[in-house]
Structure 1
Amino acid sequence: MNGQGLPGSILVMADDFTGANDAGVSLAQGGITVDVMLHSGYQRDGRATALVLNSDSRALPQNAARERISSLMHSALKQQTPAWMIKKIDSTLRGNPGAETEAMMIATGATVALVAPAFPAAGRLTRNGECLVHGQRLTDTEFASDPKTPVLSADVREVFQSQSGMAALYVDLTTLRAGDLPALIAGYPTPLMVMIDSETDADLDAVIDAARQLSTPPLLVGSAGLCDALARHLAPVRRKRVLAVVGSMSEMAQKQIHHLHQHPEVSQVFINIDDVFTGDAQNYRMAISEALNGGRHCLVHTCPDHAARHQITALCEKWQISRSELGEKISAFLGELTREVINQSEPDALYLSGGDVAIAVSRALGASGFRITGRVAQCVPYGNFLGCGWHKPVMTKAGGFGDETTLLRVLHFIEENASV
């Protein structure tokens, strides 16, 4: 497949328009020019390194989907011979993933397809050969009864083999993570579809590594998660990182924290209130710095669960202070901890939830004011501190504002907005 086209060029076949955009966005963010074509009459102008075709075939009968993929690929391969070929499928296996993968393999001459549907950032994993959505088997979710393209099985191999006559091999996480995938594939006759379990972005990165080691280029088959992994390989960029400090114990703030509990790119650091009184912050500094230096967002909070907010009276009695004094003590600790962390591992933005924490951080940094630039998620003003050495974006939020997705949207805003 490679060797005659533009070095590093990419061709993606998606089965709907939004999926086509999802497939190309991470490549574009990495500086690669990406064109998404909406119909078969396109003409490649030579400026785009990545071409994403929309077959609009998800709801078609299988034979019609095969024919459309074959026709589009015939036209595409006349114009380029790409180094990387991707069949973008739905992360919940809707549509005709097996039929379209087979059609694309035949059109491209690929003898091996590496199938990794997982999209960890969206809660879609593959474990023991099955697709899970936020921990639920696919067939126990709403996707099983999709009005246009219902899914009848959570088993990835079963779905593909119900639509294709090609042999299919299942690969578990142990084999993938041990780096044994290329050697395993070499021992099987082709053509072959390889169904690969993946639970993290690192697993999807391992799929790309395996693809590079095969003697002939495989067809990559996956959702936006696998496309993102290819983007990380071809156009590595440092992810923007947010240091989020949540001092509020409101129910909504706790829901926002809980919503990020299993996010693969967010590390959570819980502050034990007893350490606030002893002043022991070293382990917290190290944990936060490790997360930020590792390219992850870091969420710092003092409330481990919904019940903890009702333990304030006991804490006040234990330390013989008033509720107001307790709040001031915690806020001051978080403010100083934030100052120390950003001096060691400078994040790309600060998110401060709770008025007391926001003012404590501003004092710790020596800020004299706040210049407002705009607003995120309708309830999160953002701007910059004035009069101090910290010039990067700062976002503030009252504890009870927003919904459970607000903090996640803040992280996405910083990741995607190059101007902040």
Structure 2
Amino acid sequence: MIKLLIIADDFTGALDTGVQFAGRGANTLVVTDLQYDFHDIEENVDVLVMVTESRHIDPEEAYKVVYDISKRAILAGISNIYKKTDSALRGNIGAELKGLMDGAGIKTLPFIPAFPALQRITKDGVHYIEGVPVAESIFGKDPFEPIRYSSVEEIISGQIKVPVVIQRNGKPIENQEGIHVFDAETEEDLQRIGEILNIDGIRFSAGCAGFAATLADLLNIRGTAFKGERLEENLFIACGSVNPVTIRQMRKAKAEGFPQVHLTPEQKLEKEWLQKDTSRKEIEEWLRRAGAEKRFILDVNDPDGQEDTNRYKEAHGLTTEDLRVSISENFAAIMKRLLDDGLRATVLCTGGDTLMALMQVLGIYELIPLYELSPGVVATKFHYQGRTYNMISKSGGIGEEDLLLKIAEMIF
């Protein structure tokens, strides 16, 4: 029986939240089917995570998606719902929180956006990334979805008209309708907020993976803790993120000897490329190098100092959104070809768009989180064409510069 439903707006976020429960032994399942029938789910599933992939759509549509899921969940008898949001506050935060409130029929919703383990905190209602207000951080310069405000209230109010109450210093929640935004700077703050809210207060709540660990303890959803399993030793890094954090990680890995191939604009933007004879030769070479050298990076970013993709975009009259969608879809199709042609490796996938597109092109609608290698970096498994594959997911903006080196050390 489902004890908790988590609604996440992107795939990597769904996994780094779901793994907080899987790591405690809860049977956790991540699904991408928005019409998933809550009545048909296996009885042993404790935590169900639904990926709405609603970060990039219109706020009105995002509201509708979350509203519909929440309402169906209530009718199915699910008693606890957590609306997972991005720890950098990207996406349709306000619209989706209101969607949960209206779908569940509630007037008050606690929202805890901080993730102290990743140096993402909320102080006096302002969200900070590594000590910098989020709108002034790298997320304020995101080419696809820049954060324009650092005030959580402004972010919410810019999407939906709903009262916003800032709860400072762990102050007990007042009897006041609206979205209650809790300040938090440490793990202890998260635990204190959990104690304040208690079981009744977190029946319906929202936040990122940071508060999910506290939520797991409060709900006491446990089982036999996962002992870990040996991952395929070859590491194939599918870099679909343009975040500067990930780019620095790729640069560091290359300097330490990781072979790296940058996809050309034609390879990552033209569907016809996979039908050409040259594509077969390229893919055969990538497979050979990945097998021989044990570590391999396939990257959608241009080489340092080059602007090939922007020139292609301008020459073909593409929008930024065209780029985002086409790159994720074409990259996923290339990864499918690699798997179909015999890639045997642990695939490290960066960026939620890339992961979602890959699952769609493979026809995979369920993913099982296993354990967390480091905050926001999750080992998972899925079944494809009679074989079990391991995948590591990572959001583009997460991790230190040497993260890829550490992951390689963990699995070799």
Amino acid at match of 2:16: D
> Alignment partner of 1:157: what SS?
helix
Amino acid at match of 1:12: I
Give deviations 1:213-265, integer Å, cap 9, x for gaps.
65x6552111110112212332589999xxxxxxxxxxxxxxxxxxxxxxxxx
**Residues 1:208 and 2:204 are matched in the alignment:** no
Change (3 A) 1:61 1:406: closer
**What does 1:380-399 align with in structure 2 at a 5 Å threshold?**
none
Change (3 A) 1:406 1:104: closer
Structure 2 counterpart of 1:88, from 84, 87, 98? 84
> Alignment partner of 2:48: what SS?
strand
Change (3 A) 1:238 1:35: closer
Under a length normalisation based on structure 1, what TM-score does the superposition of the two structures give?
0.51
Structure 2 counterpart of 1:14, from 8, 31, 48? 8
Moved more, 72-81 or 61-70: 72-81
> Alignment partner of 2:212: what SS?
helix
Question: Identity over the aligned pairs, expressed in percent?
Answer: 27
**What does 1:75-154 align with in structure 2 at a 5 Å threshold?**
75-82=72-79, 84-154=80-150
Change (3 A) 1:203 1:24: same
Query: In structure 2, how many angstroms separate the alpha carbons of the residues matched to 1:38 and 1:408?
Result: 30
**Residues 1:25 and 2:15 are matched in the alignment:** no
Give deviations 1:48-82, integer Å, cap 9, x for gaps.
11111111100111101111112222333333322
Match of 1:388 in 2: none
Structure 2 counterpart of 1:34, from 28, 35, 41? 28
Structure 2 counterpart of 1:50, from 10, 22, 47? 47
Match of 2:213 in 1: 228
Match of 2:60 in 1: 63
Match of 1:189 in 2: 176
Q: Does the 8 Å CA contact 2:83/2:97 hold for their aligned counterparts?
A: yes
**What does 1:352-371 align with in structure 2 at a 5 Å threshold?**
none
Q: Does the 8 Å CA contact 1:59/1:95 hold for their aligned counterparts?
A: yes
Query: In structure 1, how many angstroms separate the alpha carbons of the residues matched to 2:141 and 2:155?
Result: 15
Give the gaps of 5 or more residues in structure 2. 228-372, 375-399
Q: How many residues align?
A: 237
Q: Which has the higher contact order (CA 8 A, sep 6+)?
A: 2
Kindly name which structure, 1 or 2, has the bigger radius of gyration based on alpha carbons.
1
Structure 2 counterpart of 1:161, from 148, 152, 157? 157
Amino acid at match of 1:198: A
Query: In structure 2, how many angstroms separate the alpha carbons of the residues matched to 1:21 and 1:409?
Result: 20
Query: In structure 2, how many angstroms separate the alpha carbons of the residues matched to 1:70 and 1:20?
Result: 18
Query: In structure 2, how many angstroms separate the alpha carbons of the residues matched to 1:238 and 1:131?
Result: 33
Moved over 6 A (4+): 236-240
Query: In structure 1, how many angstroms separate the alpha carbons of the residues matched to 2:179 and 2:165?
Result: 6
Query: In structure 2, how many angstroms separate the alpha carbons of the residues matched to 1:141 and 1:64?
Result: 28
Query: In structure 2, how many angstroms separate the alpha carbons of the residues matched to 1:211 and 1:32?
Result: 22
Query: In structure 1, how many angstroms separate the alpha carbons of the residues matched to 2:64 and 2:43?
Result: 26
> Alignment partner of 1:170: what SS?
strand
Change (3 A) 1:111 1:238: same
Moved more, 65-74 or 152-161: 65-74
Give deviations 1:134-157, integer Å, cap 9, x for gaps.
111111112112222221101011
Query: In structure 2, how many angstroms separate the alpha carbons of the residues matched to 1:28 and 1:196?
Result: 26
Give deviations 1:382-414, integer Å, cap 9, x for gaps.
xxxxxxxxxxxxxxxxxxxxx96369948x96x
Query: In structure 1, how many angstroms separate the alpha carbons of the residues matched to 2:198 and 2:103?
Result: 21
Match of 2:273 in 1: none
Query: In structure 2, how many angstroms separate the alpha carbons of the residues matched to 1:120 and 1:238?
Result: 24
Change (3 A) 1:139 1:197: same
Change (3 A) 1:36 1:142: same
> Alignment partner of 2:98: what SS?
helix
Q: How far is the alpha carbon of 1:212 from its aligned partner?
A: 1.4
Q: How far is the alpha carbon of 1:13 from its aligned partner?
A: 0.6
Query: In structure 2, how many angstroms separate the alpha carbons of the residues matched to 1:141 and 1:157?
Result: 18
Change (3 A) 1:70 1:213: closer
Match of 2:168 in 1: 172
Match of 2:342 in 1: none
Q: How far is the alpha carbon of 1:125 from its aligned partner?
A: 0.7
Q: Does the 8 Å CA contact 1:112/1:218 hold for their aligned counterparts?
A: no
Q: Does the 8 Å CA contact 2:127/2:152 hold for their aligned counterparts?
A: yes
Give the gaps of 5 or more residues in structure 1. 1-5, 241-375, 378-402
Amino acid at match of 1:127: K
Query: In structure 2, how many angstroms separate the alpha carbons of the residues matched to 1:29 and 1:238?
Result: 6
Q: Does the 8 Å CA contact 1:119/1:226 hold for their aligned counterparts?
A: yes
Q: Does the 8 Å CA contact 1:27/1:231 hold for their aligned counterparts?
A: yes
Give deviations 1:24-60, integer Å, cap 9, x for gaps.
0010000111111101232322221111111110011
Give deviations 1:347-371, integer Å, cap 9, x for gaps.
xxxxxxxxxxxxxxxxxxxxxxxxx
Query: In structure 2, how many angstroms separate the alpha carbons of the residues matched to 1:19 and 1:13?
Result: 10
Query: In structure 2, how many angstroms separate the alpha carbons of the residues matched to 1:238 and 1:134?
Result: 32
> Alignment partner of 1:32: what SS?
coil
Amino acid at match of 2:131: G
**What does 1:281-360 align with in structure 2 at a 5 Å threshold?**
none
Under a length normalisation based on structure 2, what TM-score does the superposition of the two structures give?
0.52
Amino acid at match of 1:232: D
Give deviations 1:288-328, integer Å, cap 9, x for gaps.
xxxxxxxxxxxxxxxxxxxxxxxxxxxxxxxxxxxxxxxxx
Amino acid at match of 1:230: L
Query: In structure 1, how many angstroms separate the alpha carbons of the residues matched to 2:112 and 2:140?
Result: 19
